[in-house]
Structure 1
Amino acid sequence: MSGLSLRQFVVDQHCVPWKLRLAVRRMVPWQYRRRLLHGRVNLNTPAAMDQRYRSQGTDFRSMENLYGRLLPLLPSQGRLLDAGCGIAVLLRTIRQRYPQLELHGVDFSPVAVERTREYGFAAQVAVLPDLPYDDGCFDAVTCTEVLEHLDDPAAAVRSFARVLRAGGWLIVSAPQDLDPDHCLEHVQDFDEPALRGCLSQTGLDLVHLESVEREPHRKPGVSWLAVAVKVGSDADRR
């Protein structure tokens, strides 16, 4: 290392260019890297989320860009279920725009469900893919930034399809992270083909798919927003 500063040696010899690091990360499945680092695959538990909701108070920062694209896609009346509702940030946003909608929420966090009920919504504790509802009882289901936390997102989407009426609409979003290691609670990475493939396994017809830029306060990346319809009726969603 004669004639070479320690700083330059570290830069030249040990700093792998970020594109190569990203390529290596993509070649090694997340599950294995997470298991090596953390000893388990899925870091999401009701207890962990309960603590998160308690520590962050009564609100999370809203996803303005995503919600701005999502809201015009919703029906203006009927029954809507928000799966993975958290503390009702999206439900409250929907209620402001569509007061005629009958709004319901489910989440696996008892703290989230309690908060959602305090805002005046019908809410139940449920662990996806299980949903405590009869077949065909909702006109729309929303699920925003949840599928990436699930070991089997396709099973959850099949449950959403089950509770939709014929002609009902599913609106989902999932993030594509530029640096997946910064989101250790994410066990899935969704790009456009991945989300399209997940929805194709459910018998729903995909009618819309777009990318939405993240808000400045969120990690770099995009979210993929998809709309699918349950085949079997020409019912007007409006």
Structure 2
Amino acid sequence: MNTPDADAINIRFYDHLWSRTRLETPERFNTWPLISSLVQNGSQRLEVGPGLRPRLPVRDSHFVDKSIAAVGRLQEQGGSAQCGDVCALPFDEGSFDLVCAFDVIEHVDNSRLAFAELSRVLKKGGTLVFSVPLHKSRWCEFDAFVGHVHRFDPQEVLAFVAENRLVLEQSAPFGMQPGNPWLLKCGMWFLRHQSRQAIFWYNRILMPLGLFFQKPLNFSDGLGDAALVDEIVCVCRRGG
């Protein structure tokens, strides 16, 4: 399970953020072409750790998140949302056709258990979509600031997939983190020292710009060439 420090950092950071942030609909993200196609064949679906950036349609989806603020807003919009932990999901084995976990697994100490839980609640033949930051050598101050515990080397991702009877069907470069180190440092300073103003600018300017300039996800079979990729989204099928 998570250490108290990791839990405390994540709960404090994200509950503070989501309590002052509006909910974005999944249609606005570049994941929507993928998700909309998967939803057609997945009547039972779960997203873990969505905050107020769900990639699944809120109505008729299940959500688990640690943020009380996020859970409340998802419930208001018709989602079946509850507080919980990716390492101890409150569902029976094989409950869902589709399970999503975007920007979640890197936030927990026991990533092996997180992968096992996401796979456990997935039906045979069901689909798991997850994203993780890559390359331990690229760990930076921003990772620690936003509550990351891990970055994953590509072979580590493949090992976790294989351990849980998953087949990695396709993957694509992912993420909206600015690549400019100066912008990252500037953003962290404002969040630390001027949080109200920083969240205002995030909601009104930065997030809309990020959504506008998103590039379509460029999927390739399997893991693809991940050498220059900072974060990846993977689409896996649960085997027997």
In the alignment, does 2:115 pair up with 1:133? no
Deviation at 1:173, TM superposition (A): 0.8
Q: Does 1:167 align with 2:125?
A: yes
Taking a change above 3 Å as real, the CA distance of residues 192 and 73 of structure 1, as seen in their structure-2 partners, is farther
**Which of 225, 228, 238 pairs up with 1:230?**
238
Residues in 2 aligned to 1:156 and 1:64: alpha-carbon distance in whole angstroms = 27
Aligned residues of 1:49 and 1:109 also touching (Cα < 8 A):
yes
Residue of structure 1 in register with 2:51 after alignment: 86
- The residue number in structure 2 matching 1:54 is 19
Per-residue deviation, residues 27-58 of structure 1 (Å, max 9, x unmatched): xxxxxxxxxxxxx5666342442112113x22
Equivalent runs, 1:97-136 vs 2, <5 Å = 102-136=60-94
What is the SS of the residue equivalent to 1:183?
Answer: helix
Alignment partner of 2:142 out of 182, 185, 198: 182
Q: State whether residues 62 and 81 of structure 2, in contact with CA within 8 Å, keep that contact through their aligned partners in structure 1.
A: yes
Q: Which has the larger radius of gyration?
A: 1
For residues 28 and 132 of structure 2, the distance between their equivalents in structure 1, rounded to whole angstroms, comes to: 15
- Give the 3 Å change call, closer, same or farther, for CA 198–69 of structure 1 in structure 2: farther
- CA shift, 1:128, in A, is 2.0
Q: Which runs of 5+ in 1 are unaligned?
A: 1-39, 233-238
What do you get for the CA RMSD once the two structures are aligned?
2.9
Contact 2:25–2:53 (8 Å) recurs in 1: no
Task: Give the 3-state SS of the residue equivalent to 1:81 in structure 2.
Answer: strand
Query: Quick one: which of 208, 219, 232 aligns to 2:178?
Result: 219
Q: Distance in 1 between matches of 2:169 and 2:119?
A: 15
Name 1:198's counterpart in structure 2: 160
Equivalent in 60, 63, 71 of residue 35 of structure 2: 71
Q: How many percent of aligned residue pairs carry the same amino acid?
A: 25
1:27 is matched with none
Aligned residues: 183
TM-score by length of 2: 0.66
Q: Distance in 2 between matches of 1:192 and 1:73?
A: 26
Q: List runs of 5+ in structure 2 lacking aligned partners.
A: 180-228
Shift of 1:72: 5.6
User: Is the Cα–Cα contact under 8 Å of residues 192 and 224 in structure 1 kept in the other structure?
Assistant: no
2-structure distance, mates of 1:47, 1:190:
24
2:109 pairs with 1:151: yes
